[in-house]
Amino acid sequence: MLAIQNALGGGVTPAPSPTPGGAAEWVKKQLKTLAGWLKALAGKVAAALPGIIGAIVSWLLKTAGVVTTWLAEHLWALAIALVAMATVWLHDPRYRKNR
């Protein structure tokens, strides 16, 4: 394919330069996007569900959005939480094959 492009004068396009921050910035961006979706969903749920049920579900989604935004700004806490969850999961006897 490259030989055909070079023969026709197309040339090779340079690869984009890596962004500073790399994976950490990507995770922050994804968490902030998720937080925005959760907050928007909370508003729609409050309007769609009746009374107290809608208020409770909306509050839960808004709180999840706030937590997600906080985790996006404090990735160390997310890493510690993931390590703690993995440790608990690995040490739980229900998940071992030989009981």
Question: Is residue 12 situated within a structural domain?
Answer: no
Total structural domains in the chain?
A: 1
Q: What is the pTM of this model?
A: 0.52
Question: Is residue 30 situated within a structural domain?
Answer: yes
Question: Is residue 83 situated within a structural domain?
Answer: yes
pLDDT at 97: 63
Question: Is residue 3 situated within a structural domain?
Answer: no
Residues contacting residue 68 through CB under 8 Å, at least 6 positions apart: 31, 32, 34, 35, 38
Question: Is residue 65 situated within a structural domain?
Answer: yes
State which residues form the domain around 50. 22-95
* Joined tokens for residue 10: 């197309």
Question: Is residue 17 situated within a structural domain?
Answer: no
Nearest C-alpha neighbor of 71 from the set 23, 19, 22, 34: 34
pLDDT digits (tens, 9 = 90+) for 62-96: 898 898 888 888 888 888 989 999 999 888 877 66
Question: Is residue 9 situated within a structural domain?
Answer: no
C-alpha Rg value of the chain to the nearest Å = 23
Say which residue, 7 or 58, is predicted with more confidence: 58
Nearest C-alpha neighbor of 40 from the set 52, 50, 48: 48
Question: Is residue 54 situated within a structural domain?
Answer: yes
pLDDT digits (tens, 9 = 90+) for 11-65: 555 545 555 668 888 888 888 888 888 888 888 887 777 888 888 888 888 898 8
